[in-house]
Amino acid sequence: MKRHARFETRQKSAGREVAVVTKMLADLVRIKQLIESDIVAEEERSGISDRSDVRYSILARTLIERCDNLKRTIAALEQRHTERALHEQMATAA
């Protein structure tokens, strides 16, 4: 089997990265929304929505931690996406 080298310009590579990060962001936002709805459902099931209550659901606490981690990841990816998109625009304009 013959292997072919794959050459890309930096512009194409940056464009591909922007597309990949956009898809990742959409997926992560959807997952975050699902987790948030799971938190609400667990609070309704347990009848306790006060997070300072010692009887507050361990599952809900765990889901909140996961959701907070996703929020931080989304913020970091959005920043990277914005930087890459600006870089791509400047490269295209030049």
The structure's pTM equals 0.74
Residues with Cβ within 8 Å of residue 8, at least 6 apart in sequence: 16
Query: What pLDDT, on a 0 to 100 scale, did the predictor assign at position 54?
Result: 95
CA Rg, the chain, in Å?
Answer: 20
Q: What is the DSSP letter of 53?
A: S
Query: What pLDDT, on a 0 to 100 scale, did the predictor assign at position 20?
Result: 86
Low-confidence residues in the chain, pLDDT < 50: none
Query: What pLDDT, on a 0 to 100 scale, did the predictor assign at position 70?
Result: 97
Torsional sign, CA 73, 74, 80, 84: positive
Query: What pLDDT, on a 0 to 100 scale, did the predictor assign at position 6?
Result: 61
